[in-house]
Amino acid sequence: MSGIKQLANQTLWYGLSNIVGRFINYLLTPILSYFYAAVAFGDISILFALAAFLNIIFTYGMETSYFRFNKNTEEKKVFNTALSSLMLSTTLFTIVLMMMVQPLANLMEVGNHPVFVKYVIAIVALDTLAVLPFSKMRFEGRPRKFALIKLSNILINFFLVVFFIGFCKTAYEDGSTSILVKIYNPSIGIGYIFIAQIIASAATLIFLWKELSSFRPDFNKKLFLEILAYSTPLIIVGFGGMINETIDRFMIVNRYTGSIDAAKEANGIYSANNKLAILIVIFIQTFKMGAEPFFFKHADNADSKKTYARIMNLFVIASCMFFLSVVLFLDIWKHFMSVKKHPEYAEGLYIVPMLMMSKLFLGIYYNLSIWYKLTNKNTMGAFITILGALITIVLNYTLIPIIGYFGCAIANFTCYGTMMLISYFQGRKHYPIPYDWKRSLEYILLSTGLYLIHYFIRNAHPAMIIVHIGGILLSLIFIAIVLFREKKELIKIPYLQKIYSV
């Protein structure tokens, strides 16, 4: 149990930074949706989607490779070689992309503002240089410092956005004579959101100075070629993942029936509602931070596979709880999109449950993917991801003109469900782990059933207080069932021992 306790402890700290940080960042959604209509929100989302794609190019799988090669090679040598490579490639990529700014801006449908693309490139370049220092903290088991720096980045970004958009923009539009008016340039517009992130990313590198100062330009060519051979399929995995997560934003703009403004509005509605899946996304990302180095470190343990199976069971339970915490209280969560001022955002609420379930499938897939990372079969992972990307592209291309952004939700659900199933059956052949799939499936079906019960209650037009009470009761039913069925496992966790002792 010590291994799971260690993972739980580190995940708690990673979760603190991720949950608190994401929540703070999430508060930007009502702020931005208040000051900007869905069209502008669509531009913001598509530019950050570009950043996600560029991040894969700039990092090319070095993070996972760093954990993998630290098993058999001196950490300092891996760190120096990998960071040397990233520094050189980041410089080259940045120069090349800066020469392609206008074509990229035209592709993003922001051709009148090519500087926005420059901002995105700068953010990605700065964040790339922070990847390995953060990975070094995770490998060395220093989640507290990791959490503090991550939170600092998000807080700086949040307060700068609030300052630029909430204060300076408001002062300018109100005709104020304060110094804030001199700071704000209306031609920059949403660009201030990216400027805030550039400043935050630069500050992060300063906070990481101790880790960066340990770097020595000691490039080991043999080691680099081994790392590159291992990480190359991960680039495809990363690209496929980004296609699955972000290509729908691009395709809505290009495949939506109607004018470009109507397409951007639909993109903004879809993007805002997609953010309501924030809780389960936060949990998945938090889990990955602790789980990836944990899985590699414990791979040689005699009971490692049993440990992985137990972790999967707990992961599914937690994911189902996050699923219910959103879908049972959509009438509360919708207010984070400023639906009173911009009621069009509420039009997309019906896609949230399907998006939430697709994220749950994605989280299970992340758990399953450890088999090809541990067995050096990353090419298989690339094939699975390519298949998922093809499903995403084909379904979005086909469905968006017919049913709009609901087609994006269907594509997400189908893609991640397929990837999850293929990875499971392939994993049974190459690295069999005794997952209790019957129990996991029961929890998924139970949470889905509870949502459907609440859906019928909600649509029976009762008072809103009845809807909320129903959501609370259904949540408690799920928790009670879990506590009863999983007592043998959960009672071993210190935080839950008091509950069972009552």
Over residues 114-158, the pLDDT tens digits come to 888 999 999 999 999 999 999 888 888 787 888 889 888 888 988
What does each C-alpha distance from 254 to 6, 264, 294, 433, 459 come to in angstroms? 47, 9, 42, 43, 34
| 138 and 5 Cβ atoms separated by less than 8 Å | no
Would you say 320 and 478 are in contact if contact means Cβ atoms under 8 Å apart?
Answer: yes
Model confidence band, residue 399 (pLDDT cutoffs 50, 70, 90):
very high
pLDDT at 1: 44
Q: What is the pLDDT of residue 408?
A: 92
Confidence of residue 402 (pLDDT cuts 50, 70, 90): very high
Residues 222-264 have pLDDT tens digits of 998 988 888 888 777 777 777 888 788 878 888 888 788 888 8
Q: 271 vs 99, which has greater pLDDT?
A: 99
Percent of the chain residues past pLDDT 90, beyond the cut: 29
pLDDT band at 36 (very low <50, low <70, confident <90, very high): low
Extract the runs of DSSP E, i.e. beta strands, from 321-422: none
Angle subtended at Cα 275 by Cα 163 and Cα 344, rounded to the nearest 5 degrees: 85
Which pTM was predicted?
0.70
Q: What is the pLDDT of residues 74-97, one digit of tens each?
A: 888 999 999 999 999 999 999 999
Look at residue 486 in the predicted model and tell me its pLDDT.
83
Residue 12 has a pLDDT of 61
| Distance, C-alpha 224 to centroid of its chain | 28
The confidence score (pLDDT) of residue 271 equals 82
Q: Give 37-73 as a 3 state SS string.
A: CHHHHHHHHHHHHHHHHHHHHHHCCHHHHHHHHCCCC
The predicted pLDDT at position 411 comes to 94
Give the residue carrying structure tokens 């909600």: 458
Position with higher pLDDT, 412 vs 21: 412
| Domain locations along the chain | 2-501
Q: Which residue has the higher pLDDT, 22 or 85?
A: 85
Question: How many angstroms separate the CA atoms of 39 and 166, rounded?
Answer: 19
pLDDT of residue 373: 79
Query: Region 298-320: what's the mean pLDDT?
Result: 84
Q: Band of the pLDDT at 335, cuts 50, 70, 90?
A: confident
Most confident of 29-38, 234-243, 346-355, 388-397: 388-397
79 contacts 132 by C-beta, under 8 angstroms: yes
When pLDDT is cut at 50, 70 and 90, the band that residue 479 belongs to is very high
Reported as half-sphere exposure (CB side, CA atoms, 13 A), residue 46 has a value of 29
Banded pLDDT at 35 (limits 50, 70, 90): low
Q: For position 93, what pLDDT does the model report?
A: 94
Tell me the C-alpha distance between 273 and 194, whole Å: 21
pLDDT attached to residue 127? 93
The highest-confidence range among 176-190, 335-349, 424-438, by mean pLDDT, is 424-438
297 has a pLDDT exceeding 80: no
